[in-house]
Every structure is written in structure tokens, then in C-alpha cells.
Amino acid sequence: MIASEYHCLIVIFCMKFKLNDNRFYRCYLGMLPYVKPYALRATLAVTLCVPIGALDAVIAMSLKPYTDRIMIEKSAQDIWYIPIAILLFAITQGVLIYLATYLNAWVGEKMTRDLKFKLYGKLISSDATFFDTTHSGEIIFNFNDQVDMASSQLLTKVKLLVSRIFSSVALIGVLIYNSWKLSIIALVVMSCAFVPMAKIRKKIHWTLKKVVEGSAVLVTEYNESYSGNKTISAYNLYKHQRSKFWNVLCQVTKGRIKLSQKTAWLSPIMHVIIAVGIGLSIAYGSYLIVSEQITSGNFVSFLTALIMLYNPVKNFGNNVKDFQLSLFAIEQVLEKLKLEPSIKDRKNAIILREFTSEIQFENVDFSYDNGKKVLQSLNLTIKKGETLALVGNSGGGKSTIANLLPRFYEVCRGAIKVNGIDIRDYSLESLRSNIAIVFQDNFLFTGTIKDNIIVGNQNASDEEVKNAVEMAYLDDLVNLPDGLDTQIGERGALISGGQKQRIAIARAFLKNAPILILDEATSALDNKSESIVQKAIENLMKDKTVLVIAHRLSTVRHADKIVVIESGQLVEIGNHDELMLIPQGRYKALYDTQFAKKP
């Protein structure tokens, strides 16, 4: 832990300047656990600031004998050492500053690394609702950029604070040593300079928040321009995108200018207050010299110490914006560190070792965050080895049903059971390891084809990968010059839609989970690609319990059970032949519409 005296100093500082209900103190305390592993170096960096600060007083102090001897008595006796001492002290101070800065950077970088790693852990274990409701820009900005700001600034500020405190204590010592009467005047004036400082922080808080939020939106804009570049080109959205970007940019710029406008007046006011202090000191000091209460040396030494003491106060106006920005960043980071996924393992969660009997949806109600009911009293049973198909109108809730089984979202009422046990009682990892999913739009990572296939099983042997590749009909990709080591670009930008789909199928093969979810796995493909992917899927479905969602009814007609979902409710259930026999049935109507269209 950082030495308790610094801890006390920070507390005193916060209480003295009433820093937003000890906001600085709260930030400092919140970050303390992340400094702890590097306590020794952090303490050393801060400790070095004590002599760095205190050495400021040496120059001021040495001016008294120098002035009295040389300028007044015109004698150089016994003062030859002063210039050498000043030089030595300056060199010592320089070395200490270097060491403190290096140690500070070292600790800051390590803290940044640890914080980013911890936050990344929080981020990837966040549930789907978090990602549904958080923009990518917010994530990049708050989980990356703000951490840089928070940890690099934290020690810098503490270091600055400690050196300022010790410098001030030493300089005040020099003032009092030279003349306690003059010191009272100087210190009273300096206290007045802190009044506008306390006012400013309230004024800038909202502007600061807007600037930070705007910066996150800018990152989202960059992201969308990257991911949506084809849509932007296809719809000639350059002008529109530029103007959207310009608006956000202007908002951020306006906020930044406003921040400067709200803080820049501090410096001139401080200059004036401090000029008053210096003026009063000169006036009263002259009287004290004339009345022989102090020597000229006292006065010169006093004035030098006073100017050195006032200097950081004068510049405070320039630093207040950065200071507030760093506090804000620390607050954001501390807030993100508190993130807890709402979907997590229960205490004593059990392991789903083997899927043996059936999946049941019992009276399931579900709404997304917006509160709109998406599923209502849904009852479904899928027996081991069965294929159950979900069909129905768009927006009816089919994908939602599929998303509830691996617990991407939690049911609002009722329960989903696997082997007769509520899925919330299983550990998330064991539940998900029993389910393989192929989506319509599968995410591919930057890397090679092989990297993307072994996502299904990191420990798969070459033989297993080869088998998955064969079963997924990936031979066209294998025959490329680099074979499975072909780079596929970010999000698979360098390969076709059907190829992406088959890589996802190969992944699912490799995972070899007993439960398979296929959500519109072929709907984006043309007939030729579809027939290959369809063959791959048929291979994949062998000996599995399958929940398949498809608009194309040709894909689902051989399913053991077909369920028609409309507006979140089950409206028909049966196999193809049974459903086709229902007069004016929903399935029959869908089927007739699709096949009537066929030439």
C-alpha cells in the first residue's frame, strides 16, 4: 500500500478544497487496488516528489545571504559556495525528476495493462442485452481510451500534488523564516485565489460529460463507416455520412471550446489576485526594510519564494480542464469495473454432462429490455434426436426462441428445461458446450480458414479438421493456393457468403454438440450455393437434436415437428403432412404461397 502519509495528504487536500464531495478522494481510493501490485515503485515515485518539491526552496533560501553579502555589504566572503550549491541542487532535482517520471510511467503503463485486461474480461462476459444497448464507440472509448487517460493521469496528478504540497510547505517555511508579517499577507491573498477554483468544477461537469459522450459517438461513426462501407457506396451516402460526422464533430468541438471558455478566465483572475499579493508584499516589505525590521536579503529571498509559490496557482486555470477530464475518465473506468453480467452461473450450478432426454419450453414469456412482449406462454418439447422446425411470419419470435436456449437472454416467466432440469441450474459453460449454432450471418474472425474452423474445438486434431472440412463441402476453399491457411480478411471480407456459411457449418461439425440450432442458415444463398450448404447441413444434422428456423419451407418439410409461431405464440404444431391437412391452416397457407410462386 502507498505510504499512509500520502494517503493522509490526499484526504486533507480533498477536504480542504471540498473536491466535489471528495470526488478526487473517491477516484483515488477506487484506483488504489490497481496501484497495489506496484506499491513499491509507486511509493518510490511519489516519495521522490518530496525532495523534488522541497528543493524548490533552496534557491529562494540561498538568495538571502547572497543579497546581504554581495549586494549590501559588497563582500564575497563565505558565499562562493552558493552558485555551486544551486547548481548541485538543480542537478539533484533533475535526476530525481527523471527517476520519478520514469517510475511514474512504468507504474502507469502496468496499471493501464491490468485495467484494460480486467475490463476486457468484463466486456466479453457481458450479456447480449449489454451489447444490444451499447454502441461500439462507447465500448472502444470507455474500455480503452478512458483507461489510458485514467491510469496515466492518476499517478501524474498524485505526483504533482505531492511535489506541490512539499514545495509549498518548504516555500512557506522560507517565507516565515524571512518575515512572518509579510507571510500572513501573502498567504491570505493566496487563499483568496482558491475561491474561483472551487466554483469552476460545478460549471464544467455537464460540458465535460457531453464532450466525452460525443467523442464516443465519433468512434461509432468511424466504426460504421468501416463496416458499412459497401452500403455507403451503394446508396451514395458520402454526403449524408459526412454531414452526420460533421455534426457530431462540431458538437465535440463546441464542447471543447466551451470548456476552455469556462476555464480560461481562471488564469487571468489568478494572475490579478497574485499580482495583488506581490504588490502588497512589495509595499509592506519596503516599509519593513526601511524600518530595518528585515534585511534586503530577507526581502529578495521572500519575494523569490513567493513567486515560486504563486506560480503553480497561476497556472491552475490551464490545468483544471485536464484534471477534470482525468477525474471523469477514472469515474467511468471505476463504473465499468462494477459491470456484472445479469446472466451468470447460480451458486452450486450443475454441469450438463450429456443431453439424454428432451428440451422443454414451459409457459415461457419473454420481453427484451423495451418491455414489449415477444413470447407468450410458449410450450414446446423437443425430444432427443428429433428435428423441430420453427416457421412463421417475420418478427414472430423464432430467433428469440433459439436465443433463449443457450441463455443469451433469460426468460421472464416459465422455464426452459434440458433433461428435465431448468437451464438456469446448469453452468453456462456446460450448457453452451452442448449446443452448436449456425446463424444466418455468422461472425468470422480475422485470420485463416483453419483459425475460424477450430473455433468449434480448439483441441481438434488435423484429422478432425479435415473431416469437418469434407462434411461442410469446403473443398473449393481447400483447393486455394494456401489451402486452409488462406487469410479471409476482417469478418471474412475476402470470401463469399456461401463459403462463410460453410465455414460456420464446419465449426459446428468440429464442436460436435448434441443439440444443434440452425437459424436461417441457408436463406441468404442462391439456389446453387444453397444446395451445397443444404447438403453440408444434412451431414451436420445427423444424430443431432435440431432446432431449425427457415423461411424456405422446402428446408423444413422433413422435420419431425413443425411449429408455426405468430406474434410470439404457437399457433400450429405437427409434421408436414398433418399441417397440410388443416383447412385454412397457417402452415398450409405459407406453403401454398411459396410453392404457388414457383414457375
Ligand X SMILES: Nc1ncnc2c1ncn2[C@@H]1O[C@H](COP(=O)(O)OP(=O)(O)OP(=O)(O)O)[C@@H](O)[C@H]1O
Write out the residues near ligand X by the rule CB under 6 A.
132, 368, 370, 374, 394-400
Kindly state the smallest distance separating residue 398's Cβ from Mg ion, in Å.
5
Determine if 399 is a binding residue for Mg ion (CB under 5 A).
yes
Report the residue number, 239 or 372, with the smaller CB distance to Mg ion: 372
On whether the CB atoms of residues 311 and 261 are closer than 8 A, the answer is no
Report the residue number, 369 or 441, with the smaller CB distance to Mg ion: 441
How far is the C-alpha of 469 from the C-alpha of 450, rounded, in Å? 9
Q: Residue 394's binding partner, choosing from Mg ion, ligand X, none, with beta-carbon cut-off 5 to 8 A by kind?
A: ligand X
Report the residue number, 126 or 311, with the smaller CB distance to ligand X: 126
Report the residue number, 355 or 409, with the smaller CB distance to Mg ion: 409
SS3 label, residue 597: coil
Q: Residue 368's binding partner, choosing from Mg ion, ligand X, none, with beta-carbon cut-off 5 to 8 A by kind?
A: ligand X
Kindly state the smallest distance separating residue 399's Cβ from ligand X, in Å.
3
**Region of 31-39, 337-345, 395-403, 586-594 interacting with Mg ion (CB under 5 A):** 395-403
451 CB-near residues (< 8 Å, 6+ apart): 445
How far is the C-alpha of 468 from the C-alpha of 463, rounded, in Å? 9
Report the residue number, 300 or 388, with the smaller CB distance to Mg ion: 388
364 strand-pairing partners: 378
Q: Residue 439's binding partner, choosing from Mg ion, ligand X, none, with beta-carbon cut-off 5 to 8 A by kind?
A: none
Kindly state the smallest distance separating residue 374's Cβ from ligand X, in Å.
4
Kindly state the smallest distance separating residue 367's Cβ from ligand X, in Å.
8
Report the residue number, 225 or 399, with the smaller CB distance to Mg ion: 399
Tell me the HSE value of 366 on the side-chain side, using a 13 A CA sphere. Answer: 28
Q: Residue 297's binding partner, choosing from ligand X, Mg ion, none, with beta-carbon cut-off 5 to 8 A by kind?
A: none
Kindly state the smallest distance separating residue 394's Cβ from ligand X, in Å.
3
How far is the C-alpha of 464 from the C-alpha of 2, rounded, in Å? 54
**Region of 246-254, 396-404, 471-479, 481-489 interacting with Mg ion (CB under 5 A):** 396-404
The helix (H) or strand (E) run that includes residue 387 is strand 387-392
How far is the C-alpha of 566 from the C-alpha of 580, rounded, in Å? 17
Kindly state the smallest distance separating residue 342's Cβ from ligand X, in Å.
14
C-alpha cell at 150: 485514467
- Tell me which residue of 400, 374, 340 sits closest to 569, measured CA to CA: 374
DSSP string, 313-377: HHHHHHHHHHHHHHHHHHHHHHHHHT---SS-PPTTPBP-----SEEEEEEEEEE-TT--EEEEE
Q: Residue 132's binding partner, choosing from Mg ion, ligand X, none, with beta-carbon cut-off 5 to 8 A by kind?
A: ligand X
Kindly state the smallest distance separating residue 203's Cβ from ligand X, in Å.
38
| CB neighbourhood size of 282 (10 A) | 14
Report the residue number, 132 or 475, with the smaller CB distance to ligand X: 132
Kindly state the smallest distance separating residue 524's Cβ from ligand X, in Å.
12
On whether the CB atoms of residues 330 and 30 are closer than 8 A, the answer is yes
Report the residue number, 30 or 392, with the smaller CB distance to Mg ion: 392
Report the residue number, 237 or 524, with the smaller CB distance to ligand X: 524
Report the residue number, 129 or 393, with the smaller CB distance to Mg ion: 393
Residue recorded with cell 477525474: 327
Kindly state the smallest distance separating residue 221's Cβ from Mg ion, in Å.
28
547 strand-pairing partners: 388, 517
Kindly state the smallest distance separating residue 128's Cβ from ligand X, in Å.
7
How far is the C-alpha of 49 from the C-alpha of 159, rounded, in Å? 6
- CA torsion 114-118-119-124 (nearest 10°) is 140
Report the residue number, 227 or 229, with the smaller CB distance to ligand X: 227
Determine if 567 is a binding residue for Mg ion (CB under 5 A).
no
- Nearest 5 degrees, angle CA 83-CA 86-CA 89? 150
Kindly state the smallest distance separating residue 405's Cβ from ligand X, in Å.
13
**Region of 300-308, 310-318, 393-401, 472-480 interacting with Mg ion (CB under 5 A):** 393-401
**Region of 233-241, 398-406, 529-537, 558-566 interacting with Mg ion (CB under 5 A):** 398-406
C-alpha cell at 572: 400450429
Q: Residue 315's binding partner, choosing from Mg ion, ligand X, none, with beta-carbon cut-off 5 to 8 A by kind?
A: none
Task: State the number of binding residues for Mg ion (CB under 5 A).
Answer: 1
Kindly state the smallest distance separating residue 390's Cβ from Mg ion, in Å.
9
How far is the C-alpha of 77 from the C-alpha of 426, rounded, in Å? 88
Residue recorded with cell 497556472: 315
DSSP string, 546-596: EEEE-S-HHHHTT-SEEEEEETTEEEEEE-HHHHHTSTT-HHHHHHHHHHH
528 CB-near residues (< 8 Å, 6+ apart): none
Sheet (strand 515-519) strand order: 435-438, 515-519, 545-549, 387-392, 561-566, 569-574
Q: Residue 370's binding partner, choosing from ligand X, Mg ion, none, with beta-carbon cut-off 5 to 8 A by kind?
A: ligand X
Kindly state the smallest distance separating residue 191's Cβ from ligand X, in Å.
56
Report the residue number, 342 or 356, with the smaller CB distance to ligand X: 342
**Region of 3-11, 340-348, 392-400, 577-585 interacting with Mg ion (CB under 5 A):** 392-400
Q: Residue 30's binding partner, choosing from ligand X, Mg ion, none, with beta-carbon cut-off 5 to 8 A by kind?
A: none
Point out the residue whose Cβ comes nearest to Mg ion.
399
Report the residue number, 397 or 492, with the smaller CB distance to ligand X: 397
Q: Residue 396's binding partner, choosing from ligand X, Mg ion, none, with beta-carbon cut-off 5 to 8 A by kind?
A: ligand X
Q: Binding residues for Mg ion, per CB under 5 A?
A: 399
